[in-house]
Amino acid sequence: MIEDIELIQKCIKGNLKAQRELYDRYAAKLMPMAMRYAKSQEDAEDILQDAFIKIFNSLESFRKEAQFLTWMKRIVINTAINHNRKKLYQQPMLDIEKTPLHVEKELVISQLHFSELMAMFQKLPVGCRTVFNLYAIEGYAHKEIAEMLEISEGTSKSQFARARTLLKQMIEEAERVITSNVSMS
């Protein structure tokens, strides 16, 4: 297997075999990230395809001081945000200062399978899903998210709180189903 740097150089020169190898090497690692931002498998595939087009077009600008996978993840995130941006403005967003908050207990997910959790993420409204991913999974601050999505910081906090509440409700419902199935056995 050739090293990433050599593969990148071949891709820059337009070598289609190298481009295919790069895609094959990293698509499976980047797809779960695209899925977290997507409403469906098809949306995630579109995001990933668009991201790889951007990756191939931007390979010359890759600076070797960053890890290649980290650099590609950032492109996938930005592509997902752009993909969802128009959907964000089609749904009402509440500002946190106008939304009553309550303290939530920790989410209990021990009995749920990854695919069930992913399906729950995909049921979230696009604004909630995007902010939740950026804040809870990617580690961005609400101020950074607000700038990225061109929303207020309060709206970012509100969307995160709403995502947590919706996920908590979905998880509790799933656990009720699991508990009732176990007690019926």
Closest CA to 174 of 109, 122, 92, 123: 109
Q: Looking at the structure, tell me whether residues 68 and 128 fall in a common domain.
A: no
For residue 105, the model assigns a pLDDT of 34
Instruction: Examine the fold and report which residue of 51, 69, 88 is the final residue of a domain before the chain moves on.
Output: 88
Q: How many residues are present in the chain? A: 185
Give every residue of the chain whose pLDDT is below 50, as ranges.
90, 93-108
Residue 142 has a CB neighbour count (10 Å cut-off) of 21
Q: Looking at the structure, tell me whether residues 46 and 122 fall in a common domain.
A: no
* 140 phi, psi to nearest 5 deg: -75, 150
For residue 10, the model assigns a pLDDT of 94
Write out the residue range of the structural domain in which residue 143 sits: 96-184
Kindly list the distances between the CA atom of residue 145 and the CA atoms of 32, 58, 125, 156, in Å, as whole numbers in the listed order.
20, 23, 16, 7
pTM over 0.85: no
- CA dist., res. 102 & res. 104, Å (int): 6
For residue 84, the model assigns a pLDDT of 81
